[in-house]
Amino acid sequence: MSELHMIDPAAQPSSEATPTPSEPMVVQLASGFEKIGLAMKSRSWRREGRPGLGPLQRQILTLLRSKPGRTAQVSTIANELVVRLPTASEAVATLERKRLVRRRRTMQDGRVVTVELTARGLRACGPTAGAPDHLTMAIGLLPAAEQASLLKALVKVIRTLQNKGEISVARMCVSCRYFQPNRYPDPDRPHHCSYVNAPFGDVSLRLDCGEYEAAVPDQARDAWALFAGEQTATS
Ligand code: SF4
């Protein structure tokens, strides 16, 4: 290394010069999401002991796990996961080939097909199924407060993308008929879930809730304004 590039370890840091980010913050954050997305597509992450499940297949297994009898009709799966019927049918057929679900025709109406989670399917949708171990480990290293902030920020980003029709997501608190955001002044538990009739905080916001029921559009819009605007319901 030439003398010109050597750094004097005794030199005092300049109080005026600060490293300036090369890109605006929004571009930096979007780039960060992109890097994580790329890593999740990498073969080494997909190999992590998962039975080769795609995102929709994992969501179907999780949905079935939350249903009574661990069964649902294909049309219900399509509606609740906001995907087209042929897309849901194709994913169910793939899951059946992997012996993670089985399809049955109902006794009452032979035209209606129900999908049932198998024991193998139940094992494949454990608590951290769908989240690569590397990612859960890295997130687990964040302090609890940072995890809560990240969750809330993610909910907002996902909901905004959903509102713009860029992604299909359902079963999140922010579009649920039971969600009452910022109803209480308690900063730790400002929201209310009328399904369980209890207050809860940002740390408990759900991205995929089995008890979810879609709010009507007006209610969803008002709840989103309250949640995203950080107003209180009584203000
Ligand atoms: S039922 Fe589930 S999705 Fe709906 S508000 Fe309660 S916790 Fe959230």
Please check whether residues 169 and 207 belong to one and the same domain: yes
Please check whether residues 90 and 160 belong to one and the same domain: no
- pLDDT at position 219 over 60: yes
Domain boundary among 95, 124, 153: 124
Please check whether residues 190 and 118 belong to one and the same domain: no
Please check whether residues 157 and 107 belong to one and the same domain: no
- Total structural domains within the chain: 2
* Alpha carbons 209 and 80: distance in angstroms, whole number: 11
Q: 212 in ligand 1 pocket by Cβ < 6 Å? A: yes
CA of 55 from ligand 1 middle (Å) equals 21
Residue 29 placed within a domain: no
Residue 89 placed within a domain: yes
Residue 25 placed within a domain: no
Please check whether residues 114 and 185 belong to one and the same domain: no
Q: Whose CA is nearest to atom 3 of ligand 1?
A: 173
CA of 212 from ligand 1 middle (Å) equals 5
Please check whether residues 102 and 158 belong to one and the same domain: no
* Alpha carbons 145 and 203: distance in angstroms, whole number: 8
* Alpha carbons 92 and 63: distance in angstroms, whole number: 12
Please check whether residues 180 and 211 belong to one and the same domain: yes
Please check whether residues 111 and 174 belong to one and the same domain: no
User: Tokens standing for 180?
Assistant: 């009452």
| pLDDT tens-digit readout, 144-167 | 999 989 988 988 888 888 778 777
Give the pLDDT band of residue 84 (cuts 50, 70, 90): confident
Domain boundary among 124, 153, 168: 124
Domain boundary among 76, 95, 124: 124
Q: Bridge partners of 104?
A: 114
| pLDDT tens-digit readout, 118-142 | 999 988 876 555 556 778 888 899 9
Rounded mean pLDDT of 18-28?
Answer: 76
- Reported for 223-230, long-range contacts at CB under 8 A and 24+ positions apart, including other chains, are 223/174, 223/175, 223/179, 223/180, 223/181, 224/159, 224/163, 224/174, 224/175, 226/181, 226/182, 227/156, 227/174, 227/179, 227/181, 227/182, 227/191, 228/156, 228/159, 230/182
Residue 59 placed within a domain: yes
Residue 214 placed within a domain: yes
CATH number, domain at 117? 1.10.10.10
- Lowest-confidence region among 86-90, 132-136, 231-235: 231-235
Q: Which residue has the higher pLDDT, 221 or 125?
A: 221
- Lowest-confidence region among 32-36, 44-48, 51-55, 191-195: 44-48
Closest C-alpha among 19, 100, 23 to residue 54: 100
Give the residue numbers spanning the domain of 196: 142-229
CA of 206 from ligand 1 middle (Å) equals 7
Residue 98 placed within a domain: yes
Residue 12 placed within a domain: no
Please check whether residues 119 and 148 belong to one and the same domain: no
Please check whether residues 157 and 217 belong to one and the same domain: yes
Query: Average pLDDT over the chain, rounded to whole?
Result: 81
Report percent pLDDT > 70 for the chain.
77
* Alpha carbons 80 and 35: distance in angstroms, whole number: 29
Residue 28 placed within a domain: no
- pLDDT at position 198 over 90: yes
Q: 91 in ligand 1 pocket by Cβ < 6 Å? A: no
Q: Whose CA is nearest to atom 8 of ligand 1?
A: 173
Please check whether residues 147 and 105 belong to one and the same domain: no
CA of 147 from ligand 1 middle (Å) equals 19
Q: 100 in ligand 1 pocket by Cβ < 6 Å? A: no
Residue 103 is inside which H or E element, if any? strand 101-105
Q: Which residue has the tokens 């490293």?
A: 19
Asked whether 84 and 92 are in contact (CB, 8 A), the reply is: no
Report percent pLDDT > 90 for the chain.
31
CA of 207 from ligand 1 middle (Å) equals 9
Please check whether residues 116 and 157 belong to one and the same domain: no
pLDDT score at 128:
54
